[in-house]
Amino acid sequence: MNDIPILMAAPMPATVIDALDRHFTLHRLWEQPDADAFLARHGAAIRGIAANALAGRIDAGLFDRLPALEIVANFGVGYDNIDARAAAERGVMVTNTPGVLDAEVADLTLGLLLATIRRLPQADRYVRDGRWPDAPFPLSPTLRGRTVGIIGLGAIGKQIARRLEAFDVAIAYHGRTRQRDVDYAYYDTPVALAGACDVLIAIVPGSASTQHLVGAAVLDALGRDGIFVNVARGSVVDEPALIAALQSGTILAAGLDVYADEPNVPEALRALDNVVLLPHLGSASEHTRAAMGQLVVDNLTSWFSQRRVVTPVPETA
């Protein structure tokens, strides 16, 4: 397989780069002084892409420049950076990295939820600023007695729910359909779920169907004691509506790991004291990123050696 040309569109962990270098002829697009000129010269030979969210949009326009392309292996469970339908129309396989990051994202979600409700970053700043000798830190809200709603009860959503059970809170969910093997309360719209909960966690894929799924109506229904946590995609939330809700007290607080225009976080969000902001850390541990990287390598090597993959996305399965 060493003579098979693979395009890496943006940097990945060194372990992934080294492994792909061993198996394939790896072209690092981000190192090219003129990416368009490189694609014009070499695009016809490229048979695979190793992609991630930093690579930008991988769509029909790029596919047309890569006529020999057979597979796009994405580093991440979310693949809204790839036009999978356009890939399927061209017979191009698309893979992602589900499963190996579920537990890490669920752990991070619970940490972000607790940090938001108990105001842990604000308390840390209070100590660092030397304010504790002057007065105790103000009492925080609590998780006790709350109902937590989860928008998107997929593999990660279920792991979040199982962790929440240990906190003795009521759990409800919204999804496209009711799940017969789930005992949690089901609501058929995000607004209905928000109205029944005072914590709302978003963990759905980014897509046209989930664009601004959480907007002003959902935030109004969540209410003045409501906590919103987003570990899905920034596109899932109407960000200006969220900022307005936080500024006006429509909801109490928010914990955010994702944003509409990463890594650019609006100044209006950064200025608020009732929001906890993380730089998209969901799966960002050494252990989990190594497992994700290995799955990218496994998908590519399996495709070119056996004509099958480990984790195809539904559109191209």
> Which one from 146, 174, 233, 289 is the annotated catalytic residue?
233
262 is catalytic: yes
Fold match flag (5-98+287-306 vs 102-277): yes
The CATH classification number of 102-277 equals: 3.40.50.720
**pLDDT at residue 235 in the model:** 96
**pLDDT at residue 24 in the model:** 97
**pLDDT at residue 290 in the model:** 95
Collect the ranges in the chain with pLDDT lower than 70.
none
Domain ranges of the chain: 5-98+287-306, 102-277
Q: Which residues of 240-270 are buried (b: 16+ CB within 10 A; e: fewer)?
A: ebbbebbeeebbbbbbbbbbbeeeebeeebe
> Which one from 31, 57, 262, 287 is the annotated catalytic residue?
262
**pLDDT at residue 37 in the model:** 97
**pLDDT at residue 55 in the model:** 85
The three-state (H, E, C) secondary structure of 64-112, written as one string: HHCCCCCEEEECCCCCCCECHHHHHHCCCEEECCCCCCHHHHHHHHHHH
φ/ψ bin of 205: left (φ > 0), alpha (ψ from -120 to 50), beta (otherwise): beta
The CATH classification number of 5-98+287-306 equals: 3.40.50.720
**pLDDT at residue 2 in the model:** 87
233 is catalytic: yes
**pLDDT at residue 283 in the model:** 95
> Which one from 23, 163, 280, 315 is the annotated catalytic residue?
280
**pLDDT at residue 317 in the model:** 87
